[in-house]
Chain A
């Protein structure tokens, strides 16, 4: 059963078409990675799934509910299901880590004393020590900030977690730690996870891979057999080859621009 269903999703910004008829179904409880070149609209696709960006046409169906035309107020119920880990964590600069992670509790009139053990528990889940509690985001490394972002998401007990390039800007070791963390998290809470990434290392941890190219899903299949795929886009992309259909289009585009 699919928990997220995208039907012919189109998003245009002025005259630029970013997603051009995306059809995708994400099974419940699975980890799905969306890959694609930079600027292909992967983050825009993710934001359309959660309702932060309204599609120009098409449908976004979450747990059987079409959220496409919902107002901000109506989306509040949908947000309850979601956790969103932003590319650069999007922590609030003016709040310390305790306040950042516990923000949903503190804003819902839960006292600091009551929120503290919950925040500590979530920080422990992402392998962060209590020492970071009263530090500010600017005092943490990029990897730690991303883990704090994940801990903040976990406070809401989401059933769907969206990760927007969780390892961008991280060294390979830290990136692997983050992937393992996401995988272990998945085993613990059994959420449905959608991850945007350029890193082929992630194929070891996810169930399915989808490739977004030219605004459409060009490939969707199991991650464990992706290296045997003969899809020309996948073949070229995951091996980082300079020759193939993707490169030809780059040359074609630049030729046309000239």
Chain B
């Protein structure tokens, strides 16, 4: 019984190490390809459109409503000790440093990360990736690098947009629903929001972009098991990328701010 248990633990430990190693090697190979081969700009722009432009609506909606609810909830607390003029500051700092990048990362993971996994997974099971290899086309340069780079580039822009929408949403609620002075809202922001808050948020978003494209591409590229395999890869890519984003967010927050 003990021997069986030890063998099972060992087996799973080896499997886990293999998986982590393969996962890391995948990223290293992608980065090496990025820095050692010539990237086709048209492919990069195409992916930037698919990951970035096509995610605009959900990012705007998420940012706006998060800012609105943040203003509403902050007012409940701050009004108890007469600090309503800080609502703008709280909304702006929360959106810039945390909610903007994190929510953007999670939403784009659900929309574009899953799409990357499903697309590459389908290409894998229909032998399109094998076909590219036999045609001597570097599959990392053709499929992985444009998605990875596009995601790293567009996420900061999406995060910035989400943050702006959140601040504007908070302003609309504060002024039109809660009856606060608009100048109080904006002056708090200009007084307390620093450039490092904005750059920190953008760095976070770029890292989240790397994570969602890396996980999506890895899961898709390594898909096995037909249509069911594509479904599993897509689900796993969203779950894993979301967890990685949330965990890395803590460490990034510690390191950046």
Q: Is the CB of B135 within 8 A of A152?
A: yes
Contact, CB under 8 Å: B136 / A90:
no
Residue of B nearest to A43 (CB): B127
Contact with B along A68-79 (1 / 0, CB 8 A): 000010001001
CB of A50 within 8 A of CB of B134, answer: yes
Query: Are A90 and B130 neighbours in the complex by a CB distance under 8 Å?
Result: yes
- Which residues of the partner chain B approach A79 to less than 8 Å between Cβ atoms? 133-136
- Interchain CB contact under 8 A, A52 and B137: no
- CB contacts (< 8 Å) of A76 on chain B: these are 136
Binds B, one of A1-9, A81-89, A196-204: A81-89
User: In the bound complex, do residue B130 and residue A156 qualify as a contact, i.e. CB atoms below 8 Å apart?
Assistant: no
Interface contacts (Cβ under 8 Å), in number, total 47
The answer, yes or no, to whether A37 is at the interface (CB within 8 Å) is no
Q: Are A86 and B127 in contact (CB under 8 A)?
A: yes
- B126 CB within 8 Å of chain A: yes
A84 touches B137 (CB 8 A): no
| Contacting pair B127 A156 (CB below 8 A) | no
Query: Given A90-B126, A92-B123, 18 more contacts at CB 8 Å?
Result: A47-B130, A50-B134, A52-B134, A76-B136, A79-B136, A84-B130, A86-B131, A88-B126, A90-B127, A91-B131, A92-B128, A103-B132, A104-B135, A104-B136, A152-B131, A152-B135, A156-B135, A156-B136
What's the Cα separation between A107 and B135 when bound, in Å? 10
Q: List 18 A-B contacts (CB under 8 A).
A: A47-B130, A52-B133, A52-B134, A79-B133, A79-B134, A80-B136, A84-B134, A86-B127, A86-B130, A90-B126, A90-B130, A90-B131, A92-B131, A92-B132, A103-B132, A103-B137, A107-B142, A152-B135
Count of residues in B whose CB is under 8 Å from the partner chain: 13
Contact check, A103 vs B130: say whether CB atoms are below 8 A apart: no
Partner of B137, one of A47, A80, A91, A107: A107
State the CA gap A47–B132 with chains docked (Å).
14
The 7 closest A-B pairs by CB, nearest first: A90-B131, A90-B127, A84-B134, A79-B136, A86-B127, A104-B135, A90-B128
Q: Complex Cα distance A79/B134, Å?
A: 6
B residues sitting closer than 8 Å to A (CB atoms) are 123, 126-128, 130-137, 142
Chain B residue at minimum C-beta to C-beta distance from A75:
B133
Which of chain B's residues have a CB closer than 8 A to the CB of A72? 133
Residues of chain A contacted by B132 (CB below 8 angstroms): 92, 103
User: Given known contacts A88-B126, A90-B128, is B136 in contact with A83 (CB within 8 Å)?
Assistant: no
Q: How far is the CA of A79 from the CA of B123 in the complex (A)?
A: 20
Chain B proximity of A213: nearest CB distance (Å):
25
Docked pose: A157 CA to B161 CA in angstroms: 50
A 88-133 contacts with B by CB, 8 A: 88, 90-93, 103-104, 107
Q: Which residues of A contact B137 (CB under 8 A)?
A: 103-104, 107
